[in-house]
Amino acid sequence: MNRYFSVFQESGSRFCLRVMLLIFCLISVTPAYSADTNSAVRDAVVKIYVSSTPPDYFTPWSFLNTAQGSGSGSVLSGKQIITNAHVVADARYIQVQKNGDPRKFRAFVSYISHEVDLALLTVEDELFFENIKPIRLGKLPETLEEVSVYGYPFGGQALSITRGILSRLEHQFYAHSGEYFFAGQIDAAINPGNSGGAVMVKGRLVGVVMQANSNGRAENLGYMVPVNVVEHFLENARSAIARGFPILALRTQDMESPSLRARYGMTDDQSGALVVRVVEGSTVGGVIHPGDILLAIDGHVIANDKTVEFRKGERTSYKYFIDLHHPGELIRLDLLRQGRRLQLDVIADVDRPEYTLVPREQFDQLPRYVIYGGVVFVPLTMNLIQRWGSDWRNNAPLGFLAVREEFATDDRKEVIVALKVLASQVNVGYHDWRNWIVDTVNGVKIRDFDHFLELIQSTENGYMVFSDDEGYQMVINHELAKHTEGDILHDYRVPSLGSD
């Protein structure tokens, strides 16, 4: 024990000399960007003020109360400010403010991708960009590499800088969109207001702060949109046609079960993901079949847990190599079909709302609705489901949740809901009906909301019979429904019978 300590014992004068030499060396080898870039980054990270007014999907002709919020952003080349999409979603008025500057400047959204929670803002007043050096993009950092987080969290007006490490890189569900994309986990302190802030390594932007874990079981656990996703987003923004992020419109199952692998004739040296569902009408419809096994994407082997190695010793969802493409590009797939190995080039698809029965949450749009016989009918969307609050998975109607993951078909592209009943003489007996999924109108299966409107408008007299898939009926006298329209709009202060 003493032998190891003695190695470090030195005389006072010699020790001081070594300390001085060490300090000199540290100063000499410190990169030139250290002091200058920190100052430049401070100037390029801005605070964003937002007034937002989202529509009320429980009352689709009105809006919720206007809310005031704030976030963070970073100035990039081309006089663009990058931030989170959720910071400016449903915004009515946006202002930005530079660090140490009391002035606020009007800003506008120039491009937005809700699926990866990123947005670009522009400021028309050129004064805003004076003395700002744009932040440059860096490369994807290594795990355990130290990162600095710049932003404007609640609790003060000044710029906040926290440090931590990048602890994990893998696919995560993005809270804003519910989509599954590559993300970085960091342990730097992240709080409300940090959203959209810069994650920096050596003076370069390596990510955009996205969300924090708020379940109370983890401390200082936050996530960033990593730089490779940011680069893809910026490529889309520069494109004349916003192409978005690609998909393969299918669902797969892991193959960790030995029995499952044996059932499909896989050898011990083969691994992959079992295709269980393919979307009709997509770019892979009729090309890939249920029962096929995805062995590799662009030459990258898919493991039985549906992961791929994206960097030496690091794995994530095989979706990683799909995300690197743009819609319309070719993706090479190695398949196992009935024991025979195939190689196919398929077209990367775009994620279309019509692929699912319940479209994902939409922003900066007004709800669709129609009132007939005092009954408010709407298409089922994630916007409506999420009006049941943050715990919507437990609070929303079970029927809504049951169809949420279903694919659309040519015969059924949307789910129609009788949301509520505006009590009137025409709908006596149904006043307490709400959140009721309607399957047919006068015996005709409903295809989508436009088809539903056609069925209502094509009726001239008699009765309208709305039924669900169990046979329960709501019957409305058509002549009385037309006669009471004006009174219902007046009594319930509704501006019109339907959305534009």
The number of domains in the chain is 3
Would you name the residues annotated as active-site residues? 86, 117, 195
Q: Of the residues 295, 319, 350, which one is the last residue of a structural domain? A: 350
Element (H, E) at 238: helix 227-238
Q: What are phi and psi of 251, to 5 degrees?
A: -125, 145
The CATH number that applies at residue 104 is: 2.40.10.120
The CATH number that applies at residue 277 is: 2.30.42.10
Element (H, E) at 467: strand 463-467
pLDDT at residue 425 is higher than 50: yes
pTM, to two decimals: 0.84
Pair (187, 44) in one structural domain: yes
pLDDT of residue 410: 84
Task: Report the mean per-residue pLDDT for the chain.
Answer: 88
Q: pLDDT tens digit string along 394-423?
A: 999 999 999 998 888 888 999 999 999 999
pLDDT at residue 209 is higher than 70: yes
Burial annotation 241-277 (CB, 10 A radius, 16+ → b, else e) = eebbbbbbbbebebbeeeeebeebebeeebbbbbbee
Pair (145, 185) in one structural domain: yes
Mean pLDDT score, 65-93: 95
SS3 state of residue 387: helix
Residue 321 lies in a domain: yes
Token reading at 150: 């710049």
Hey, what long-range contacts does 210-215 have (CB within 8 A, 24 or more apart)? 210/84, 210/117, 210/174, 210/175, 210/176, 210/183, 211/117, 211/174, 211/175, 211/176
Pair (91, 230) in one structural domain: yes
Give CA angle at 37 (31, 39), nearest 5°.
Answer: 135
pLDDT at residue 468 is higher than 60: yes
Q: pLDDT tens digit string along 17-70?
A: 333 333 333 333 334 344 334 778 899 999 999 999 999 999 999 999 999 999
Pair (228, 313) in one structural domain: no
Pair (241, 255) in one structural domain: no
pLDDT of residue 197: 94
First to last CA, the chain: 82
Q: pLDDT tens digit string along 119-149?
A: 999 999 999 999 899 999 999 999 999 999 9
Least-confidence region, from 110-114, 182-186, 199-203, 219-223: 219-223
Percent of the chain with pLDDT over 70: 90
**Separation of alpha carbons 174 and 116, rounded Å:** 7
Residue 500 lies in a domain: no
Percent of the chain with pLDDT over 90: 75
Pair (378, 324) in one structural domain: no
pLDDT at residue 15 is higher than 70: no
Contact 152, 47 (CB under 8 A): yes
What Cα–Cα distance (Å) separates residue 120 from each residue in 266, 293, 350, 361, 487? 47, 39, 21, 20, 46
Residue 498 lies in a domain: no
Residue 8 lies in a domain: no
Residue 265 lies in a domain: yes
Q: What are phi and psi of 261, to 5 degrees?
A: -65, -40
Residue 15 lies in a domain: no
Pair (168, 286) in one structural domain: no
Q: Of the residues 333, 350, 367, which one is the last residue of a structural domain? A: 350
Q: Is 394 exposed, middle or buried (0-12, 13-18, 19+ CB in 10 A)?
A: exposed
The CATH number that applies at residue 447 is: 3.20.190.20
pLDDT of residue 32: 39
Residue 9 lies in a domain: no
Pair (315, 407) in one structural domain: no
Least-confidence region, from 39-43, 83-87, 218-222, 280-284: 218-222
Residue 23 lies in a domain: no
CA 210 to chain centre: 10
Q: What are phi and psi of 127, to 5 degrees?
A: -60, -30
**Separation of alpha carbons 165 and 151, rounded Å:** 17
Q: Is 481 exposed, middle or buried (0-12, 13-18, 19+ CB in 10 A)?
A: buried
**Separation of alpha carbons 371 and 481, rounded Å:** 10
Pair (236, 273) in one structural domain: no
Of residues 238 and 29, more confidence is placed in 238
pLDDT at residue 214 is higher than 70: no
Give CA angle at 277 (467, 268), nearest 5°.
Answer: 155
Pair (143, 253) in one structural domain: no
pLDDT of residue 215: 55
Q: Of the residues 195, 225, 245, which one is the last residue of a structural domain? A: 245
Helix boundaries (H) for 353-408? 382-385, 392-395, 398-403
Pair (205, 131) in one structural domain: yes
**Separation of alpha carbons 274 and 264, rounded Å:** 9
Pair (181, 265) in one structural domain: no
Q: Which residue segment(s) compose the domain that 471 sits in? A: 355-491
